[in-house]
């Protein structure tokens, strides 16, 4: 097979809303499309990729694709859902897809979660990332002339739906409110959704979130965020932690059925201590040592 690159040196193909597959969302000068196969985004097999590799990778897909509204070219693709099991056929196909994406310069935001799904949460996540990226592009992350630290997108304060003042860009806000309601109705032992986040050197950011259902057992969610060649507009670790809180909120909806999947507090504490013991593998170290106290 002969490889054919895109015009202007680009291997990425403009995404069209054909066959009834128009954009799901228009935001910030960008269009968000639904699922697309890698082969629909790339103009031919790139150099260094064998025919067999291309055949497998081109059939793999992304849940959402964010494109520039003026050119239709992909800005970044998004995946939301469970991480492929180590050594599985799905993981091997994922590696081939990653290699092709790297070869053609396709930016990808991968969100790994056993609970979150693109169909239910994808639009909200992508809208958040588009807004965060636009805010960062305004230079809001640069110190001012007085040296006062800038206010990041995640730290903007405003009026919340319940009338309180809080962080309006906290994706986990609804989950935190649901936890308070569950506590008031005596379905939780603690009303606070707690969490932590780390970033593995050379790997993804990871966020944990949990709430105590009983004094000795917690509902726990973990989410990984792996931005490849793309900025999420916010710290990926904090994004992962907030998304883990979103996942906790999903689990709270079926709290009465969650008994079998609760994590003993002693087990969670041991896992947190295990993270602390691996601080040398983390970018920025481990900032949550206070959670290790019994």
- Confidence class for position 204, pLDDT limits 50, 70, 90: very high
**What is the percent of the chain where pLDDT is above 90?**
79
- Confidence class for position 149, pLDDT limits 50, 70, 90: confident
Average the pLDDT over 53-68 and give the result.
Answer: 95
For residues 61 and 77, the answer to whether their CB atoms sit within 8 Å is no
What are the residue ranges of helices labelled H in the chain? Answer: 38-41, 51-57, 89-104, 123-137, 173-184, 236-252, 265-277
- Confidence class for position 252, pLDDT limits 50, 70, 90: very high
For residues 40 and 77, the answer to whether their CB atoms sit within 8 Å is no
Regarding predicted confidence, which is higher, 267 or 292? 267
Average the pLDDT over 207-225 and give the result.
Answer: 96
The DSSP code for 118 is I
- Confidence class for position 259, pLDDT limits 50, 70, 90: low
pTM: 0.91
Q: How far apart are CA 36 and CA 12, in angstroms?
A: 13
Pairing of strands 74-81, 64-68: antiparallel
**Cα–Cα distance list, 244 to 118, 131, 248, 294 (Å):** 15, 20, 6, 23
Q: How far apart are CA 37 and CA 46, in angstroms?
A: 16
- Confidence class for position 294, pLDDT limits 50, 70, 90: low
For residues 31 and 69, the answer to whether their CB atoms sit within 8 Å is yes
Average the pLDDT over 64-92 and give the result.
Answer: 95
pLDDT for 140 equals 57
- Confidence class for position 94, pLDDT limits 50, 70, 90: very high
Closest CA to 9 of 51, 46, 37, 38: 46
Average the pLDDT over 242-261 and give the result.
Answer: 86
pLDDT at 242 over 80: yes
Average the pLDDT over 189-216 and give the result.
Answer: 96
Average pLDDT score, the chain: 90
pLDDT for 93 equals 93
The DSSP code for 117 is -
């Amino acid at each position: 097979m002969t490889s054919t690159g895109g015009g202007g040196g680009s291997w990425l193909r403009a995404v069209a809303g054909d066959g009834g597959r128009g954009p799901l969302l228009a935001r910030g000068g960008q269009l968000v499309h639904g699922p697309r196969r890698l082969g629909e985004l790339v103009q031919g097999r790139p150099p260094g990729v064998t025919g067999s590799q291309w055949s497998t990778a081109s059939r793999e897909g992304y849940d959402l694709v964010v494109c520039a509204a003026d050119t239709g070219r992909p800005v970044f693709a998004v995946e939301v859902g469970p991480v492929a099991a180590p050594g599985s056929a799905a993981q091997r196909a994922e590696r081939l897809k990653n290699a092709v994406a790297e070869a053609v310069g396709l930016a990808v935001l991968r969100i790994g979660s056993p609970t979150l799904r693109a169909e239910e949460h994808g639009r909200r996540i992508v809208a958040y990332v588009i807004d965060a990226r636009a805010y960062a592009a305004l230079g809001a992350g640069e110190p001012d002339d007085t040296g006062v630290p800038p206010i990041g997108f995640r730290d903007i304060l405003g009026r919340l739906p319940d009338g309180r003042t809080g962080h309006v860009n906290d994706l986990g806000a609804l989950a935190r409110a649901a936890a308070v309601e569950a506590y008031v109705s005596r379905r939780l032992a603690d009303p606070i959704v707690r969490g932590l986040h780390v970033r593995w050197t050379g790997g993804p950011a990871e966020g944990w979130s949990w709430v105590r259902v009983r004094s000795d057992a917690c509902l726990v969610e973990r989410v990984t965020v792996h931005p490849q060649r793309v900025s999420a507009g916010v710290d990926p670790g904090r994004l992962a932690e907030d998304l883990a809180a979103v996942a906790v909120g999903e689990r709270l909806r079926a709290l009465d059925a969650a008994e079998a999947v609760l994590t003993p507090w002693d087990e969670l504490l041991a896992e947190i201590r295990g993270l602390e013991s691996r601080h040398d593998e983390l970018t920025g170290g481990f900032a949550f040592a206070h959670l290790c106290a019994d």
